[in-house]
Amino acid sequence: MKAGSNLEKVLRAGHFAFTGELGPPRGTSAHEVREKASHLKGYVDAVNITDNQTSVVRMSSWAASLILIQEGLEPNYQMVCRDRNRLAMQSDILGAYAHGIRNMLCLSGDHQQFGDHPTAKGVFDLDSMQLIEMVKRMRDEGKFMSGEAIVDPPELFIGAAANPFAEPLRWRVHRLAKKVEAGANFIQTQCIYNLEKFREWVKQANDMGLTEKAYILAGVTPMKSVGMARYMQSKVPGMDVPDSIIKRLQGAEKGKVAAEGIKIACEQIEEFKEMKGIAGVHLMAIEWEHRVPEIAESAKVLPRPLMN
Amino acid sequence: MIVAKRKPFEEIMSLIQDHQKVLTVGCGTCVAVCLAGGEKEVDVLNAELDMARRLKDNPIELGAKTVERQCDREYLAELDDLAKDYDAMLSMACGVGIQFLAERFPNIPVYPAVDTCGLAVNQAVGWYEERCRSCSSCVLGVTAGICPVTMCAKGLYNGPCGGTNQGSCEINTEQPCAWYMIYERLERQGRLDCILKITPAVDWRNQVPRTLIQPGYKKPEKVENK
């Protein structure tokens, strides 16, 4: 056991993990965080708290994570390389751990040009790979990046992201291998819509022994509408939405497109449960937290295991 | 070479609004080649300034002189006598040249007339593309001659990120993904092993002003200054 988080216990016990996501507000409302969290409690093993996602300023990820802990949920604290240098990252990690955060997802972060402060200086002192290495060293060697000893090192369950769909496709499994070698204990993937490509990537990861070394959680985002599917297909870099998904949503009866989106997601989850090398699902129900209980129910991932 | 572009005219007007005698100093090397601050650009700028100030009933006396390189003391010496006749200077050199000019004439203000944009290649006449951020720790040997610091929008050393969009960068489809290009070229050369290893965190060496002394040379005990 690396950190003893609920997520780690669920995965190590061999349960099929189910994680959710919560985007902090663009303001100071702890109430809003609590309200979103209330829909997730009891339905997921951990909740990713995004870090200024899409480069838009929001309540800090660690602060929203603390509210989640107060509510009795387990956060998966996300940190991007865009907004802080190695000093700020390490001090935030110490503080986050001191307050009970036990899972951390290490990301490069979207480019600042996408967000609400496009003229900001992007930091990128480290990249995601180097961030993973740093957190691992802090935990396993009890050392800061500088090599100085840490008094009471943070014991975190280290996560990373993987996108099996972005070019160059042949390189993607090697990049996964680098993240695992850097120290990732679990991986959450980009939203999956192209199952054919995903199966191929997982097969490569199995063949390379990577799924033995890290837990892979398949990323799922239910489509709410045809417009959302079209947007994700054409406007979101690195996203692969096949036309068949759009056609299927278009074929749904009026007023039932969202239900069809959830149905597609649940069918995918069924396949992931059986897929060798897949240890769970990460559900990114963007601004749809209140639908998570229904999705979890339909996906037959309830009840969530209670770990001690 | 170092490339630059002329500042917006209104900004230059505003910088020198309180001066009546200004010497515009061009630079005959990089900024002349990139059509920003050579002899010709000095003449054009002066003509525009002269006209604009007359229209404002605030005429200005402008001088023009282009030296070979503003980053070299021996060429700046040519300005010593001329400078006495002016109450300010407008430099059309890169940021390096502007500062060296300001250092040589500390008693009068020296203003920039250009914005320095980087170290770039000449793709065609008037078209320049940045290629180097002078980081002082070159990794081109393992990245197939493509700089990830300059060409990757996030400056990643272990790319590509998940935003690669069919070979282009997530910020703009016109911008090729540096790491896609690195991958393609290394694969062509059979050298993908170069990037299979994790590149560790960078020892950033461009955080303080750097000094370069080539082997066989030494720093003079006292720099002659005016």
pLDDT in tens, B88-146: 999 999 999 999 999 999 999 999 999 999 999 999 999 999 999 999 999 999 999 99
Residues of chain B neighbouring A237 (CB-CB closer than 8 A): 163-165, 170
Q: pLDDT for A230-240, tens place per residue?
A: 999 998 888 99
Is A156 a residue whose pLDDT tops 90? Answer: yes
Overall average pLDDT of the A65-77 stretch: 98
Nearest to A145 among B155, B157, B201 (CB): B201
Is A83 a residue whose pLDDT tops 70? Answer: yes
Q: pLDDT for B127-141, tens place per residue?
A: 999 999 999 999 999
Mutate to test the interface with A, among B135, B137, B154, B180 (most CBs of A within 10 A): B154
Q: pLDDT for A263-283, tens place per residue?
A: 999 999 999 999 999 999 999
Q: What is the pLDDT of residue A49?
A: 98
Overall average pLDDT of the B64-78 stretch: 97
Fold of A6-298: TIM Barrel (3.20.20)
Q: What is the pLDDT of residue B226?
A: 47
Instruction: Parse chain B into domains and list their residue ranges.
Output: 2-118, 136-195
Only one residue has tokens 């951990």, namely A46
Q: pLDDT for A284-305, tens place per residue?
A: 998 899 999 999 999 999 999 9
Q: What percent of chain B has pLDDT over 70?
A: 98
Is B40 in a helix, a strand, or coil? helix
CB A105 within 8 A of CB A159: yes
Contact residues, A window 69-128, toward B, CB-based 8 Å cutoff: 81-82, 86, 108-111, 113-114, 122, 124-128
Average confidence score pLDDT of chain B: 95
Overall average pLDDT of the A31-49 stretch: 98
ipTM: 0.94
Interface residues from chain B to A (CB-CB < 8 Å): 153-167, 170-171, 177, 180, 183-184, 192, 196, 198-202, 204
What does pTM read for this prediction? Answer: 0.95
Cα(B76)–Cα(B226) distance, integer angstroms? 11
Contact call for A113 and B161, based on CB within 8 A = no
Count how many pairs of residues, chain A against chain B, have C-beta atoms within 8 Å.
93
Average confidence score pLDDT of chain A: 97
Contact call for B171 and A111, based on CB within 8 A = yes
| B55: CB partners within 8 A, 6+ apart | none
Overall average pLDDT of the B9-28 stretch: 98
Q: How many residues are there in chain A?
A: 308
Q: What is the pLDDT of residue B51?
A: 98
Contact call for A237 and B163, based on CB within 8 A = yes
Count how many Cα atoms sit within 13 Å of the Cα of residue B86 in the half-sphere of its side chain: 26
How far is A21 from chain B, CA to nearest CA, in Å?
19
How far is A181 from chain B, CA to nearest CA, in Å?
8
User: Could you write out the DSSP letters of every residue in A173-203?
Assistant: HHHHHHHHHHT-SEEEEEEP--HHHHHHHHH
Instruction: Parse chain A into domains and list their residue ranges.
Output: 6-298
Contact call for B162 and A127, based on CB within 8 A = no
Contact call for B154 and A162, based on CB within 8 A = no
Q: What is the dihedral of CA B138, B143, B145, B148, to 10 degrees?
A: -70
CA distances in angstroms from B181 to B123, B148, B185, listed in the order given: 18, 10, 6
Overall average pLDDT of the B17-22 stretch: 98
- Report which of A80, A90, A163 is spatially closest to residue A127, judged by C-alpha positions: A80
Q: What is the pLDDT of residue A238?
A: 87
Cα(B177)–Cα(A279) distance, integer angstroms? 32
Query: How, if at all, do strands A215-220 and A280-283 pair?
Result: parallel
Residues of chain A neighbouring B206 (CB-CB closer than 8 A): none
Mutate to test the interface with B, among A171, A187, A194, A210 (most CBs of B within 10 A): A171
Residues of chain A neighbouring B180 (CB-CB closer than 8 A): 167-168
Cα(B185)–Cα(A297) distance, integer angstroms? 48
Q: What percent of chain A has pLDDT over 70?
A: 100
Can you name the residues that pair with A21 across neighbouring β-strands?
A: A48
Is A10 a residue whose pLDDT tops 60? Answer: yes
Fold of B2-118: Rossmann fold (3.40.50)
Overall average pLDDT of the B37-46 stretch: 98
Is A146 a residue whose pLDDT tops 50? Answer: yes
Nearest to A111 among B153, B158, B196 (CB): B153
Mutate to test the interface with A, among B161, B186, B192 (most CBs of A within 10 A): B161
CB B70 within 8 A of CB B116: no
What is the band of B224 on the pLDDT scale with cuts at 50, 70, 90? low
Is B207 a residue whose pLDDT tops 90? Answer: no
If you ran DSSP here, which 8-state letter would residue B170 be given?
Answer: T
Overall average pLDDT of the B176-187 stretch: 97
What is the band of A119 on the pLDDT scale with cuts at 50, 70, 90? very high
What is the band of B166 on the pLDDT scale with cuts at 50, 70, 90? confident
Residues of chain B neighbouring A190 (CB-CB closer than 8 A): 162
H or E element: which one contains A245? helix A243-250
Query: How, if at all, do strands A103-107 and A75-80 pair?
Result: parallel
Q: What is the pLDDT of residue B223?
A: 59
Locate the DSSP E strands across chain A. Answer: 17-22, 46-49, 75-80, 103-107, 157-162, 186-191, 215-220, 280-283
With b meaning 16 or more CB within 10 Å and e meaning fewer, what string describes B54-92?
A: eeeeeebebbbebbebbbeeebbeebeeebeebebbbbb
Overall average pLDDT of the A250-260 stretch: 95
Is A228 a residue whose pLDDT tops 50? Answer: yes
